[in-house]
Each structure stands twice: as structure tokens, then as C-alpha cells.
Chains A and B, each alone.
Chain A
Amino acid sequence: MSDLPQQLINGLWQGAALALFAMGYTLVFGVLDIINLAQGATYMWGAFFAFLCVTKLNWPIWYAIPAAMVGAGFLAVLLDRLAFKPLRSLTSGGLVLWAGFIVFLLGAVGNLSQDIKWVTIVSGALIMLGGFVLDYRSGKPLRTREVPHLAPIISSIGATFILVSLAISQFGAQVSRFPPNLFPVKPYNVTAEAVISPIQVLVLGLSLGLMIILSFLINRTQMGRAIRAIAWSERTSRLLGINVDYVIAQTFFISGALAGAAGVLLGLAFNRLEPNMGGEVELAGLTVIIVGGMGSIGGAAIAAFLVGMIRVLSVAYIDSSFRDAFVFGLLILVLLLRPSGIFGRSKTVRA
């Protein structure tokens, strides 16, 4: 047990990154009452966006991280428009968006010659842009509807499937790695035996910073109040002049950016990127938001550290194959003893 301080440090920084992922997850749930299972795929794409910036564009990592967050944020907005919004209300713009997406996909993964490939991708993107604009401006949906609760879940599983396939087609199924020497490797001594590497300091620091920014955004700004207002009552929010679709898009952007940040940071820390990396964090993230109380941002943050610790400690002192078993054990325990989560009360977003 003499390496306990070291394990606690590992649990801390891994828990912090997990918290980013889970806070975005729970934010969307609090507002829309849907579990966005594609959050894991957004996380994975966040990591690959940074990878592209560093390897293809030769950007320094300090630009690649925010760029990846923005990319993942927009990806989440796009996901909302393709997979969730049509379930809430169908508009002509939404249909155009879908058509553009299919053209885009054809270009991205189809077996086309180089020139045609780019023409297809770009025209797909343009059609999608047109769909966005049309969708934004439309006052009247073609149809608004009540869909069964399962629909968004199936829809987001489908989206995950597409996003993972897309990543495999671009990067292959094997592990990709960032170029070495992005960070100094010499670790800092925390105690005589426990060390923390510069990248781990970055993960911890950036995660805590983003958590503070998120808490400020949600609690202290008009945008945050609008997000919580919609979580409470969409109808009343409309009467107050809140453009509900726009604020939902903002919510997805924040959620996606947080997932993207978690993806880059953990991708960097383990230097291991693969198209399936979202599946693993998905399970941990789901546990975190249930333990933290669905929709509770503060609860998710605290539960993330708990789950992070459990994961690290069970690997260190028991066996790595038991890691997920312990996470599941916590999940089941909480579901049995306190189904609303340790910090949960109701379905609203709190911080």
C-alpha cells in the first residue's frame, strides 16, 4: 500500500477528466430529458480533431486543444439537429440537413476518385449549412410530435455507429498516437514517492478550470439561466422570449465541447487514440451521472472523482479485469439504495 499517494493522484486527474465528460452528459439530460449516448463518440472525435490539427496541420497542441473543443461542440450541435431535433419537431430545414449529411457521408467514406470525393464532401457540407439556416429561420414545423422515450436512445446509438465507422474509415481501427515530445516528460515530485507528470498536471488544471467556467456560465449568466429555464418549462421559457432551439443548440455545444476536451486530455495523457475509445468512457460516464443524480452538474463532478478513484484503486490493488465490475457495483448499490442518485432530487439542472 506504500504507493497509495501515487494512486490517489492518478485517481484525481483521471476523475477530473471524467468529470468534464459527465457534466456535459448530465447537462443535456437535465434540459431535454434524453440520454445522449453519442457523447462517447463526440469524446472520441474530440481526441481525433486534436490529432488532425497536430499531425496534418502541424498546429501546436495549445491551439489544437481549443480547436478540438470547438469541433466537438459543433459536432454535438449537428448531432442534435440530425438525431434529436427531428424527433421533437420536423422542419423542411431538418430534411435538407439530413440530405446534405448523406451526401457528405458518401463523399467521406464512398469509394470515389479524389476529385469527386472533395466535390461531394464540400457540396454535402454546403447543403447542410443551407439546412441549418432554413431550420433556424422556420417558424412553423411540418410536424411537432411526442415520441416514445426510447426513440432518442436508438437515435443516438445510430449516430454513434456512424461516427465510429467514419473514424475507422479515416484513421483505421488500430491505435493512433500523438507525436512524441509534445510535452516534457520529467515528472514533478509531489511527495518522496509520488509523482505527477506535466501532462497530468495539464489534465487536472484544465479540467478544474473548465469546471469553474461551466459553473459560472450556468449559474451567473443569462445563457445559463435560460438553459435552466428550459429544463424547468419550455413553454414559460418561450413566453419570456427565449429562442428554445437556439438555447438547446448552445447546450449541445457546451456538452460536446466538454466531451471533446475530456477526449483530447485523456488521449494525450495515455497517448492512445482509437475509434472505440468512447465506449469505455460511456459506461463510466453513465455511472457518474446516475450516482451524481441525473441532471445535477455538481453531483456529476463529485461522483466523477469517486468513480475515477474506484477505477484506479481497483486496478492497482485488486485486478485490472475487475475495474468495470467495481464501477458497476457502485452503480447497482446506488440504484438500490438511492435511485435518485447521491446528490439528486429532481430532474432539473442544478450546479
Chain B
Amino acid sequence: MLVVRDLCSSYGAIAALKGVSFEVPRGSVVALVGANGAGKSTTLNSISGLLKPDGGSVRFDDREIAGWRADKITALGLAQVPEGRQVLGGLTVEENLLLGAYTRRDSEIGKDLDDIYLRFPILKNRRKQIADLLSGGEQQMLVLGRALMSRPKLLMLDEPSLGLAPLIVQEVFRIISELKERTTILLVEQNARKALQIANYAYVLEGGRVAQEGPAEELQGDPKIVEAYLGRKT
């Protein structure tokens, strides 16, 4: 579904991605793990069009999309939930969700909205509230719901558990494991332990390159990975 080859990106003179290659097969959950600054967010931003890659290829559904405008890429069914939640704080919860369906023209938007409210009851209670007033966990639910409103073929999640209380982190991962029944997921996490539990396959990024890859269970047992990323129990 998504095939990335030799993706290179830079911020001015600083090269952040130095040829990243990986694949996300349809129906799978692929994790992208790595330390802070490894280039995980840059990878997602280069795929979604927020950042123009310097080189390499991004194929989504057999279409070459490297360098496309972000809104056109979203319209193809690739939804990114960016790092740090990014709710539209001045708009209400419901308006945020409705904007999630911006690229859609079908008549089932109202039905999907009810679905989201069923899945996230907190959002229903707060639908008329300004999104800025939600707690961190609620905002994370909101951006997940908003992304789902676009009926994405591929969902790219950037550190969905970052900065959340342990109980909320569990809730977020529970929701992600429910979502994997419905859509393909590319999951970026620093919390490698949790990410590997959920994923089928994983890539480890280091300094803008893929340092290692393999099925998630295999990486979970790899002593090098355990030491570098799974050392501290959380």
C-alpha cells in the first residue's frame, strides 16, 4: 500500500533523512521506532507532503506522490495524526470532527460522526466545547477521531502516547489495536515496547537511516533492541 524508497529530506543544510526505505502492506500495522531526533516525524512529514523531500520515491496505492501538495495527498486517503495533537483549538469538538471529513463528498458523514461519538463518548459530551479546553488525553481522542472521519486507507500516527498519563496511554493503545481491524496503520513511537506489542513489523530509525528491521516479535526478543529501546520498564 505504501512503499518508500531512498527518501531524503533536509532542513536547510541539515540532512535529516539520508535514504530511508520501508513498506507498509495493506492491512498491517508497521511501527517506526527510534530515539528522539532519529527522523521519525520527518519521515511522516515527507510522506504526507508537509515537507518536500529532496529525493527518493513514495508510492501510495501505486501512485508516485513524493513532492505532492499535502491536501492532495490527504484526499487520496492518507491521514496523518501529527505529533503534539494539534487540535484546532478555537473550533468546537464537533467542528474539528466535521473538518476531518473535509475531503469527503458522500452522504454518510453524519453516520460516521455518530460512530465516532459511540467510540469516544467523552467527545460526545463535549461536542459543543472549544477543543482547547480538552485535556491532553481527550485531545488525543479528538485527533484520532478527526483522522478517522476522513475514512483513511492509511493512518499515520506520530507519537500518539507522548506526554499522556499511563492510564490514558493504555486507553490510546487499546483504541489503536481496535483500529487495526479497520485500516492500515503506520505507527511512530518512542514507546517502543508498546509499539512492538501492537505492530506486525517494525523498522528502527537511527540518524536518518533504517538501522534494523524485522517482524515485531523478533525485534522484541533482540538483545540489542532490548538494551537500546526497551531497557527501562514503563
Contact = CB atoms under 8 A, between A and B. Distances in A.
Interface string A314-351: 00000000000000000000000000000000101110
B86 A236 contact: yes
Nearest to B86: A236
A239 B50 CA distance: 8
Interface string B47-87: 01110100000000000000111111011000110100010
Given A139-B69, A140-B67, A244-B71, A232 B89 contact: yes
Given A241-B150, A350-B90, A225 B82 contact: no
A222 B102 CA distance: 7
B36 to A, nearest CB: 21
Interface residues of A, number: 24
A272 interface: no
A241 B80 contact: no
A238 interface: yes
A47 interface: no
A350 B90 CA distance: 8
Interface string B86-102: 10111100010011101
Contacts, number: 74
A266 interface: no
SS class of chain A's interface: helix, strand, loop or mixed?
A: helix
Interface in A156-211: none
B49 A238 contact: yes
Interface residues of B, number: 28
Interface string A259-273: 000000000000000
A293 to B, nearest CB: 13
A241 B150 CA distance: 9
B70 A239 contact: yes
B48 to A, nearest CB: 6
A140 B66 CA distance: 11
A232 B91 CA distance: 9
A225 B92 CA distance: 10
Contacts of B74: 238-241
B40 interface: no
Interface string B149-180: 01000000000000000000000000000000
A229 B131 CA distance: 12
B146 interface: yes
A350 B49 CA distance: 29
Contacts of A348: 90
Contacts of A242: 71, 99, 102
Contacts of B200: none
B103 interface: yes
B90 A231 contact: yes
B140 to A, nearest CB: 14
Contacts of B100: 240
A55 interface: no
A238 B103 CA distance: 11
Interface in A135-153: 139-140
B88 A236 contact: yes
Contacts of B82: 235-236, 239
A349 B74 CA distance: 25
A85 interface: no
B49 A233 contact: no
Interface of B: 48-50, 52, 67-72, 74-75, 79-80, 82, 86, 88-91, 95, 98-100, 102-103, 146, 150
Can you list the 4 inter-chain pairs with the closest CB atoms, starting with the nearest?
A: A241-B74, A241-B103, A238-B70, A348-B90
Given A243-B71, A348-B90, 9 more contacts: A222-B102, A228-B88, A232-B91, A238-B74, A239-B48, A239-B70, A240-B99, A240-B102, A244-B71
